[in-house]
Amino acid sequence: GKIVPSKDSVRLTGWSINSDRAVILAFCWFYIRKYQSRQESEAVSTITAICALAIALITTALLPVDIFLVSFMKNPNGTYKVWAESNETRGQIEDTVLYGYYTLYSIILFCVFLWIPFVYFYYEEKDDQTKCSQVGNALKYTVGFVIVCVVLLLIGAFVPLDPPPSTNSTQWEKVQYLFEELGSSHGLPALSFSISSLTLIGMLAVITYTAYGMSVLPLNLIKGTRSVAYELLENTDEIEDVEQQIEKLKAKCKDGRPLSSRDRRSLQTLEGKLQVLQRRGRHLEIAERNCCTKVGSALRPFKIMLGVFFIIVALVFIVSLFISNLDKALHSAGISSGFIIFGTNLTNPLNELLLVLQPVFPLDYILITVITVYFVLTSMAGIRNMGIWFFWIRLYKIRPKKTRPQALLFLCMILLLIVLHTSYVIYSLAPQYVMYGSQKYLAEVRPPLEPSIPSLPAVCFLPLCVPDQCVVTRSYLFLHKFWFFSTIYYFGNWVFIGVFLVGLVVSCCRGKKSVIEGEVEADDSDMSDDEYVH
């Protein structure tokens, strides 16, 4: 039978949750401080970025908890545990989880539509302005975001999913019906519509950054970085070559003749290139003496194994997503239903693996948590490697100790949107498991004339299970409140698979990264070297 947690482990739950939050906050502080520019850092933007990143990571833990709670209500034989036999008790637990979604999703709405835009515009308006005018201008620009949020909430609240019961009802009765629907659903459609609208943007971020990050992160670990000694030698040769070209150009004006405009442009270009190479040389010398570089070389075998593990996870991820989408294409009711299927009709490796791990607590929950964390880490890797883009325009770069505050705010907002889409992607990977967890119900397989034969436990599967025998996760209710969003997500999954394959080919064709990747750029100032040298 399935091993359940002991009373001691239940007593430690509160302590473990608090410790997890402390770990998340410590990670967020370290991550933001690692990439934050020391010259342009500001307390308000730093605190905002750390808090927003922490909210994104904490929200990722909600889905595994949701799945665990609905699974923990039942015994392996399909019966409810003693404490969960009452509908009222189960309802209280479901409401608690639902309020958890309300709270975190409401905080995400607050961050995306008010907090982060205000801090962003506040920082943009800081030059040559008083604090009052700075706050006023930031609020003026933020009002647009707030209006969009209010419109989304109103659309979700007052657009009914079902028609009024009577077609002959008056206008006032129809308005009453809308408010009754809003009250009876506790505002779920309003919040669900707003979150689903943001999730569409999150889907674009997942397609752009996560798909690429899933290919670039493991391959970078496997390939490693270039040799510091070889890079130093190569850099020295380039410096000598550029200095010779500069000397040749300067030799043309030794007799007093001025340089042509073309030669002057060439000289400026070469002098700028020489400055970059000299800064690069200083950074390489520091990297050669740095103990972290030596430790990284010693950990090379571990990095290769971790990269191989990540690429295996990515391939299982993509294969499971492909089979799930194919299953929807073959067995769902089509676009009008949002390509929703109940359970799995084709063998999905990840869904099957989760079901196999169910008998041993808590392996299945560990796996679903690892998948969620892996999804977030690859998203962060994709943003870090690509930078922040608006269509074909590159807005910001993400570089260690040189990332502008606006870029960090954008990064955190993108991660918040990606986290919203994470639940649907994981549902696509393992639909049956995300819907019911490890629940079983008592299937009526005995003949009518032989009531002595006991009912056998079967895995919860929506078309087959009896009402009240299986509890659906609250996440599923948020995901499938509006069918047209599910349809868009379905096609987004196909694009995600295609982008991953293209990113995998590009990552394989690229050579090894420099050991000082992202530290030296042509548009850096000489003062920025102080962040590394001193």
* Bigger pLDDT: 517 vs 158: 517
Phi, psi of 518 (to 5 degrees): 85, -5
Tell me the C-alpha distance between 40 and 48, whole Å.
15
The owner of tokens 């999913």 is 161
| φ, ψ for residue 348, nearest 5 deg | -105, 115
Q: Where are the alpha helices (DSSP H) in 125-210?
A: 131-158, 171-184, 188-205
Among 201-210, 295-304, 371-380, 450-459, where is mean pLDDT lowest? 450-459
Q: What is the pLDDT of residue 285?
A: 82
Helix then strand then coil, % of the chain, to nearest 5:
70, 5, 25
Cross-strand pairs, 403: 36
- The closest alpha carbon to 69, from 54, 51, 50, 83, belongs to 83
Read off the pLDDT of each residue in 166-175 and give the average, rounded to a whole number.
50
pLDDT score recorded for residue 178 = 43
Q: Quick check: helix, strand or coil at residue 393? A: strand
Tens digits of residue pLDDT in 6-55: 444 344 444 445 556 677 788 888 888 888 877 777 788 888 888 888 88
Give phi and psi for 403, each to the nearest 5: -85, 130
Spatial separation of the C-alpha atoms in residues 171 and 176, rounded to whole Å: 9
State the pTM of this model.
Answer: 0.77
CB distance 466 to 96 below 8 Å = no
Percent of the chain's residues with pLDDT above 90: 4
Look at phi and psi of residue 83 and say left if phi exceeds 0, alpha if psi is from -120 to 50, else beta: alpha
- Alpha-carbon distance of 375 to 381, in angstroms, equals 10
343 pLDDT exceeds 80? no
Tell me 520's DSSP state: -
Average pLDDT of the residues in 462-475: 70
Residue 453 — pLDDT band, cuts 50, 70, 90? Answer: low
Residue 113 has pLDDT above 50, yes or no: yes
Highest mean pLDDT among 16-25, 201-210, 510-519: 201-210
Asked if 463 and 176 count as a contact pair (C-beta separation under 8 A), the reply is no
318-332 per-position pLDDT tens digit: 998 899 889 888 887
Compute the average pLDDT of residues 372-387.
Answer: 84
pLDDT at 452: 52
User: Smallest Cα–Cα separation from 492: which of 325, 263, 251, 333?
Assistant: 325
Is the pLDDT higher at 384 or at 131? Answer: 384
Please say whether the beta carbons of 281 and 240 come within 8 A.
Answer: no
Q: What distances in angstroms separate CA 283 from CA 2, 261, 280, 400, 494, one per listed residue? A: 55, 33, 5, 13, 42
Does the pLDDT of residue 360 top 60, yes or no? yes
What pLDDT shows up at residue 18? 58
* C-alpha closest to that of 432 among 108, 67, 138, 106: 67
Among the ranges given (180-189, 379-388, 459-468), the one the predictor scored with the smallest mean pLDDT: 180-189
Tokens encoding 517: 């990747």
Contact 147, 182 (CB under 8 A): no
Burial track 285-309 (b if 16+ CB lie within 10 A, e otherwise)? ebbeeeeebeeeeeeeeebeeebee
Q: What integer pLDDT is reported at residue 159 of this predicted model?
A: 59
CA 93 to mean position of chain CA atoms: 27
Which of 2-6, 122-126, 137-141, 495-499 holds the top average pLDDT? 495-499
Q: What is the mean pLDDT of the chain?
A: 77
Q: What percent of the chain has pLDDT over 70?
A: 79
Q: 347 exposed, middle or buried (CB, 10 Å; 0-12, 13-18, 19+)?
A: exposed
Hey, is 459 helix, strand or coil?
Answer: strand
The amino acid occupying position 531 is E
Tell which phi-psi region holds residue 7, choosing left (phi > 0), alpha (psi between -120 and 50) or beta.
alpha
134: which residues sit within 8 A by CB, 6+ positions away?
122, 125, 126
Q: How confident is the model at residue 138 (pLDDT cuts 50, 70, 90)?
A: confident
Q: How large is the C-alpha radius of gyration of the chain?
A: 28
Beta-strand ranges (E) seen in 27-146 are none
For residue 461, is pLDDT > 80?
A: no
Task: Provide the greatest CA pair distance for the chain.
Answer: 116
CA distances for 145 relative to 114, 140, 141, angstroms: 7, 10, 8
Structure tokens at 523: 């548009």
Give the C-alpha separation, 374 to 392, whole Å. 27
What pLDDT sits at residue 183?
Answer: 45
User: Which phi-psi region, left, alpha or beta, contains residue 509 (left: φ > 0; alpha: ψ -120 to 50)?
Assistant: alpha
The pLDDT, as a whole number, for residue 104 is 86
> pLDDT category, 244, cuts 50, 70, 90?
confident
Confidence label for 532 from pLDDT (cuts 50, 70 and 90):
very low
- The pLDDT score that the predictor gives to residue 497 is 93
Distance CA 41, CA 28 (A): 16
Q: Is the pLDDT of residue 478 over 50?
A: yes
What is each CA distance from 10 to 15, 61, 115, 437, 519, in whole angstroms? 10, 18, 36, 20, 47
pLDDT band of 139, cuts 50, 70, 90: confident
Q: What is the pLDDT of residue 498?
A: 93
Give 138's contacts (C-beta < 8 A, 6+ positions apart): 118, 119, 121, 122, 124, 125
Question: How high is the pLDDT of residue 182?
Answer: 44
pLDDT of 369 reads 77
